[in-house]
Structure 1
Amino acid sequence: MNDDARTNIGTPDPGIPVSAELRDQVERTRDELGKTVEALAAKADIKAQAKEKTAAVRDQAAETAAQVSEQIRERAEHAAQAVKDKTPDPLLQRAAQAATAARANRTPLLVIGTALAVVLLLRRSRGGRR
């Protein structure tokens, strides 16, 4: 068998009349063979399969994280509302006033907090040396 005969397997000789049915059958066989080769190549492509699996896991993790985040937000809102409902009004008013005062005077509060932290650290370090 020569090289020309090998490359023309299944290709009808133009000099020989072939029925349309046989041509259709040959074309279907070629299509099926092409699909089979593509399927085998896809199964053999481990890298592509790993990428697809990674993408699927990533999407699932993102979806789960979004659901958990939503549940946490809902529970936090519910807990905050429960605390607000059980806290007496005068205490809520005082807390709001304190928060407003703290926002208005951030710098002095930061200075006082820093100074307090330094004093506590100095006392602790001196106490350990005794």
Structure 2
Amino acid sequence: MTPEKRHPGDDTTPSPEEPQGQAAATEEEPEPDQAAEAPAAKDDVKSRAQEKAAAVRRQVTDKSAQVGTQLREKAAHAAHLVQDKTPEPVRAKAAAAGEQVRGQAAHVGQLVRERAPEPMQDKAEQGMHMARDKRTPLLAAAAALVALGLVRLARRRRR
């Protein structure tokens, strides 16, 4: 069988040259107004993206501040609960243990100062200054740890 010749007016499958001609005919030249609007649209998309990013940053900042506040409130509440539920003898023992630890630490510190090399003494002095600057939080954390340890010890002895 010989292939039939197709004519451009036939409704049968088009030849390979015809689709290219149809595609070229359907392409339109952008109008001058559209060409000028393209960069403006790109700038508009960019500015909207920047606005959205700024809004998300604000939202994240607000949410993190809110979560931080909630965590601080919960930590303070937990500390009050521990203090309220800790019996007075346990708190007295914790205070006495804290005093004993401070006394021993002072003694060890004196021994280290006498025997430590000069560069180590300088570093230790820097650490002491930093600890003095943040004394209240350090003491509160140490007291909470001692109280927690004493409560656990008391519970073990009850069993």
TM-score for the superposition, normalised by structure 2:
0.37
User: Which structure carries more relative contact order (alpha carbon 8 Å, separation 6+)?
Assistant: 2
